[in-house]
Structure 1
Protein backbone atom coordinates (compact mmCIF):
# COMPACT_ATOMS: atom_id res chain seq x y z
CA UNK A 1 0.00 0.00 0.00
CA UNK A 2 1.29 3.46 -0.84
CA UNK A 3 1.42 6.36 1.54
CA UNK A 4 -1.75 8.16 2.49
CA UNK A 5 -2.39 11.60 1.07
CA UNK A 6 -4.91 14.07 2.34
CA UNK A 7 -8.26 12.41 2.77
CA UNK A 8 -11.24 14.72 2.78
CA UNK A 9 -14.37 13.21 4.23
CA UNK A 10 -17.40 14.95 2.72
CA UNK A 11 -20.44 15.35 4.94
CA UNK A 12 -22.82 13.96 2.30
CA UNK A 13 -24.93 10.91 3.10
CA UNK A 14 -22.93 7.72 2.50
CA UNK A 15 -19.61 9.56 2.05
CA UNK A 16 -17.80 7.69 4.83
CA UNK A 17 -18.78 4.33 3.34
CA UNK A 18 -17.73 5.45 -0.16
CA UNK A 19 -14.33 6.73 0.99
CA UNK A 20 -13.76 3.67 3.19
CA UNK A 21 -14.54 1.42 0.21
CA UNK A 22 -12.10 3.37 -1.98
CA UNK A 23 -9.38 2.96 0.66
CA UNK A 24 -10.22 -0.70 1.24
CA UNK A 25 -10.91 -0.25 4.97
CA UNK A 26 -13.96 -0.56 7.19
CA UNK A 27 -16.11 2.47 7.97
CA UNK A 28 -15.21 2.05 11.64
CA UNK A 29 -11.48 2.10 10.90
CA UNK A 30 -11.85 5.25 8.79
CA UNK A 31 -13.91 6.97 11.48
CA UNK A 32 -11.29 6.04 14.07
CA UNK A 33 -8.49 7.47 11.93
CA UNK A 34 -10.43 10.68 11.34
CA UNK A 35 -11.19 11.00 15.06
CA UNK A 36 -7.51 10.45 15.91
CA UNK A 37 -6.49 12.95 13.25
CA UNK A 38 -8.84 15.64 14.53
CA UNK A 39 -7.36 15.22 18.02
CA UNK A 40 -3.78 15.76 16.77
CA UNK A 41 -4.29 18.98 14.85
CA UNK A 42 -1.82 17.78 12.18
CA UNK A 43 -2.22 18.61 8.49
CA UNK A 44 -2.80 15.13 7.05
CA UNK A 45 -4.28 11.88 8.22
CA UNK A 46 -1.03 10.09 7.35
CA UNK A 47 0.83 12.15 9.94
CA UNK A 48 -1.63 11.35 12.71
CA UNK A 49 -2.03 7.61 12.12
CA UNK A 50 0.80 5.40 13.31
CA UNK A 51 1.28 3.68 9.97
CA UNK A 52 4.17 1.54 11.20
CA UNK A 53 2.10 0.15 14.06
CA UNK A 54 -0.86 -0.42 11.74
CA UNK A 55 1.43 -2.18 9.26
CA UNK A 56 2.82 -4.46 12.01
CA UNK A 57 -0.71 -5.26 13.18
CA UNK A 58 -1.86 -6.07 9.65
CA UNK A 59 1.21 -8.21 8.94
CA UNK A 60 0.58 -10.19 12.14
CA UNK A 61 -3.09 -10.61 11.18
CA UNK A 62 -2.11 -11.79 7.69
CA UNK A 63 0.42 -14.27 9.10
CA UNK A 64 -2.25 -15.68 11.43
CA UNK A 65 -4.72 -16.00 8.55
CA UNK A 66 -2.09 -17.80 6.47
CA UNK A 67 -1.38 -20.21 9.35
CA UNK A 68 -5.09 -20.91 9.78
CA UNK A 69 -5.50 -21.43 6.03
CA UNK A 70 -2.57 -23.87 5.99
CA UNK A 71 -4.07 -25.84 8.89
CA UNK A 72 -7.43 -26.01 7.10
CA UNK A 73 -5.78 -27.18 3.86
CA UNK A 74 -3.92 -29.94 5.72
CA UNK A 75 -7.06 -31.01 7.59
CA UNK A 76 -9.01 -31.08 4.33
CA UNK A 77 -6.35 -33.21 2.61
CA UNK A 78 -6.23 -35.55 5.60
CA UNK A 79 -10.02 -35.84 5.60
CA UNK A 80 -10.08 -36.66 1.88
CA UNK A 81 -7.38 -39.34 2.34
CA UNK A 82 -9.24 -40.85 5.28
CA UNK A 83 -12.57 -41.01 3.47
CA UNK A 84 -10.89 -42.49 0.35
CA UNK A 85 -9.08 -45.12 2.41
CA UNK A 86 -12.29 -45.95 4.24
CA UNK A 87 -14.20 -46.32 0.95
CA UNK A 88 -11.49 -48.55 -0.55
CA UNK A 89 -11.68 -50.97 2.39
CA UNK A 90 -15.26 -51.98 1.54
CA UNK A 91 -14.90 -54.92 -0.83
CA UNK A 92 -17.91 -56.55 -2.39
CA UNK A 93 -17.84 -60.33 -2.08
Structure 2
Protein backbone atom coordinates (compact mmCIF):
# COMPACT_ATOMS: atom_id res chain seq x y z
CA UNK A 1 0.00 0.00 0.00
CA UNK A 2 3.00 2.27 0.40
CA UNK A 3 3.41 2.35 -3.40
CA UNK A 4 -0.25 3.07 -4.08
CA UNK A 5 0.49 6.45 -5.71
CA UNK A 6 2.83 4.86 -8.29
CA UNK A 7 -0.04 2.94 -9.92
CA UNK A 8 -3.14 4.20 -11.72
CA UNK A 9 -5.50 1.89 -9.81
CA UNK A 10 -5.56 -0.55 -6.95
CA UNK A 11 -6.09 -3.38 -9.44
CA UNK A 12 -2.88 -2.43 -11.27
CA UNK A 13 -1.05 -2.24 -7.94
CA UNK A 14 -2.28 -5.65 -6.80
CA UNK A 15 -1.46 -7.27 -10.15
CA UNK A 16 2.08 -5.87 -10.21
CA UNK A 17 2.88 -6.73 -6.60
CA UNK A 18 1.31 -10.20 -6.84
CA UNK A 19 3.58 -11.11 -9.76
CA UNK A 20 6.61 -9.99 -7.73
CA UNK A 21 5.48 -12.06 -4.74
CA UNK A 22 4.62 -15.10 -6.86
CA UNK A 23 0.98 -15.31 -5.83
CA UNK A 24 -2.28 -14.70 -7.65
CA UNK A 25 -3.73 -11.19 -7.72
CA UNK A 26 -6.97 -12.50 -6.20
CA UNK A 27 -5.13 -13.92 -3.19
CA UNK A 28 -3.27 -10.68 -2.63
CA UNK A 29 -6.48 -8.67 -3.02
CA UNK A 30 -8.13 -10.78 -0.29
CA UNK A 31 -5.12 -10.31 2.01
CA UNK A 32 -5.16 -6.55 1.45
CA UNK A 33 -8.87 -6.40 2.29
CA UNK A 34 -8.33 -8.45 5.45
CA UNK A 35 -5.48 -6.17 6.50
CA UNK A 36 -7.62 -3.09 5.94
CA UNK A 37 -10.49 -4.56 7.97
CA UNK A 38 -8.10 -5.52 10.74
CA UNK A 39 -6.63 -2.02 10.73
CA UNK A 40 -10.03 -0.36 10.76
CA UNK A 41 -9.61 1.22 7.31
CA UNK A 42 -12.41 -0.86 5.81
CA UNK A 43 -15.79 -1.76 7.21
CA UNK A 44 -16.55 -5.33 8.14
CA UNK A 45 -15.41 -7.84 10.69
CA UNK A 46 -11.73 -8.37 11.33
CA UNK A 47 -10.29 -11.87 11.50
CA UNK A 48 -10.13 -11.61 15.28
CA UNK A 49 -13.81 -10.63 15.47
CA UNK A 50 -14.79 -13.50 13.18
CA UNK A 51 -12.84 -15.97 15.33
CA UNK A 52 -14.44 -14.61 18.51
CA UNK A 53 -17.95 -14.87 17.04
CA UNK A 54 -17.27 -18.42 15.89
CA UNK A 55 -16.05 -19.38 19.38
CA UNK A 56 -19.10 -17.79 21.00
CA UNK A 57 -21.45 -19.58 18.59
CA UNK A 58 -19.74 -22.88 19.43
CA UNK A 59 -20.13 -22.16 23.15
CA UNK A 60 -23.84 -21.37 22.72
CA UNK A 61 -24.33 -24.60 20.77
CA UNK A 62 -22.60 -26.62 23.51
CA UNK A 63 -24.69 -24.91 26.22
CA UNK A 64 -27.90 -25.72 24.37
CA UNK A 65 -26.86 -29.35 24.05
CA UNK A 66 -26.06 -29.49 27.77
CA UNK A 67 -29.45 -27.94 28.59
CA UNK A 68 -31.23 -30.57 26.47
CA UNK A 69 -29.39 -33.35 28.28
CA UNK A 70 -30.32 -31.86 31.66
CA UNK A 71 -33.98 -31.52 30.62
CA UNK A 72 -34.11 -35.15 29.54
CA UNK A 73 -32.40 -36.31 32.73
CA UNK A 74 -34.81 -34.23 34.80
CA UNK A 75 -37.82 -35.70 33.01
CA UNK A 76 -36.42 -39.23 33.46
CA UNK A 77 -35.71 -38.88 37.18
CA UNK A 78 -38.79 -36.76 38.06
CA UNK A 79 -41.12 -39.75 38.66
CA UNK A 80 -38.63 -41.22 41.11
CA UNK A 81 -38.95 -38.30 43.54
> TM-score band (shorter)?
0.3 to 0.5
Question: Normalized against structure 2, the TM-score is what?
Answer: 0.44
Structure with more helix by fraction: 2
Question: Normalized against structure 1, the TM-score is what?
Answer: 0.39
